Homo-oligomer: A and B are copies of this chain.
Amino acid sequence: MSADYAELSRRLADLTALEEVVGILSWDQEIVMPSGAAQARGRQLSTVQVVAHERLTDPRLAALLAGLQQDATLDATQTANVREARRDVQKATCVPSDLVRALGETAVRGHEVWVQARKNKNFSAFAPVLAELVDLAKQRAAAIAPDQPAYDVLLDDYEPGMTMARLDPVFARLKEVLLPLIARVRAAERGPDLAWLTQHVPAETQRQVGERIVRAMGYDFTRGRLDTSVHPFCGGAGPTDVRITTRYNEDAFLGSLTGMIHETGHALYEQGRDLSLADQPVSRPRSMGIHESQSLLWEKQVAHGEPFWRAHYPKLQESYGFLRNKPLAEFLLGVNDVNPNNFIRVAADELTYPLHVILRYEIERELLSGRLDVRDLPAAWNERMRGYLGITPPDDAVGVLQDVHWSGGAFGYFPCYTLGALYAAQFYQAAVMQHPEIPEKLALGEVEPLLGWLRTHVHQIGSRLETDALVTAATGRPLDPEPFLRYATAKFTRLYRL
């Protein structure tokens, strides 16, 4: 290894350690921090972030990277590491620090204003700060890549390489298939009574059941924890400290359980990273879309399917008495229940979720291009809601104000949710193609052939490959909506006898 590459590795390892520290401080803040410490925690976090930013923009780091980019002696992993670090450095360097500070401060204020505005169902109170956030996001995009559309630059933050030109046909195809499918589900005769979904289950019972399933999925508790939080997440500090959280709704046990499975999918990705490179960017999860593919693969492809529940349903029946006389087929109908009359994205089912995302995508790109004014957002939102789902939100709290993302200036994130669903179907179908025994193993409670495939094709790859190369190496094709559409059409046609 050259002296320059060794120095680069040391500097990147320090940056990774500082990111991990931010991970612990953030987890602590959500889970255990006393309320009176909020102000001090803000100072601690910003101090570490400023240190990290100074190190990331240190001219010596840029010089090392420029030199190493020309170095033909680097192997593929080293080359990828240099590429990933260069992307970080470039974005950090070209955004002026005044703009970084303005973004941070406006995001904090935006969040506070949004909380109140949502409480009061009053979008107009949120509109002025949202307009500022849109403007700052445009400025930031222009600083990074003045010759590209702003929204493409923002998409790249979460899904490197993704553009509107690539998303448009994919989302068009989703609409083409899903809209008529949803209409058929809506017209179908409803299945059996699903009142058992709201049976009361104490939180502690749910925790025990959930922990057993999380463990059976391969989550390693010696390198993680399971805690309770208002908003479930997967956080922590690198692959040896992957902490998941959940919330227990005592009148909706299924949501808590699938939520835990979802976070476990994220956690398996993190725990599966290449430990020998854990302190280098090249071992990082590829993108937000690929991350979401791992949570959704386990939550939807696996834990909404029959094989998984063949293994776990009998024990669930033991734990939850009201399921004892309920056949597996009926339980699966409940798990896969579709409700198009739902305004809320986070509560949406597998079929309507992509339309919630497409609605936001279309609005975001128009906001960033200037075609849509912030003041006209509620009207644009409600009009699309009627167009896609045939429903009109009764107020802005369950409409345009429902999501936290924009209040923090995060534009371009929403598409990752649906990219995740598409990648999940691609990965799962490819894995089953290569290991046809996966469903029968899942039915025996064995995750191994599936988890091993994900370890090899996704987790261990990290960021060695860019997204298209990773997905192509794993599935034979880059991003492709057809596997998801085939899966959804077949499943819901069968379940709802369409």
Contacts and interface: CB of A to CB of B under 8 A. Distances in A.
Interface stretch (A24-32, A124-132, A205-213, A329-337): A24-32
Interface residues of A, number: 37
A222 B21 CA distance: 24
Contact of A240 (B36, B220, B223, B237): B36
Interface stretch (A38-46, A112-120, A445-453): A38-46
A35 interface: yes
Contacts of A279: 43
Secondary structure at chain A's binding surface: helix, strand, loop or mixed? helix
A344 interface: no
Contact of A224 (B18, B25, B34, B41): B34
A218 to B, nearest CB: 14
A25 B241 CA distance: 13
Interface in A212-245: 220-225, 237-238, 240-241, 243
Given A14-B47, A47-B21, A40 B238 contact: yes
A44 B21 contact: yes
A363 interface: no
Contacts of A50: 14
Max chain B CB contacts within 10 Å: which of A13, A47, A222, A237?
A: A47
Interface string A241-278: 10100000000000000000000000000000000001
Contacts of A48: 17-18, 21, 48
B21 A223 contact: no
A346 interface: no
Nearest to A55: B51
Contacts of A237: 37, 40-41, 44
A240 B43 CA distance: 12
> How many identical subunits does the complex contain?
2
A444 to B, nearest CB: 28
Contacts of A362: none
Contacts of A240: 34, 36-37, 39-40
A350 interface: no
Contacts of A18: 47-48, 51
A234 B35 CA distance: 18
B40 A241 contact: yes
B44 A17 contact: yes
B241 A36 contact: yes
A35 B224 CA distance: 9
A20 to B, nearest CB: 5
Contacts of A39: 240
In the A-B complex, the 8 residue pairs with the smallest Cβ-Cβ separation, listed nearest first, are A37-B241, A36-B223, A17-B47, A36-B222, A37-B240, A36-B240, A17-B44, A40-B240
Given A17-B47, A35-B222, A40-B241, 8 more contacts: A13-B43, A17-B44, A32-B225, A36-B220, A36-B240, A37-B223, A37-B238, A37-B240
6 contacts: A14-B50, A17-B44, A17-B48, A18-B47, A20-B40, A34-B241
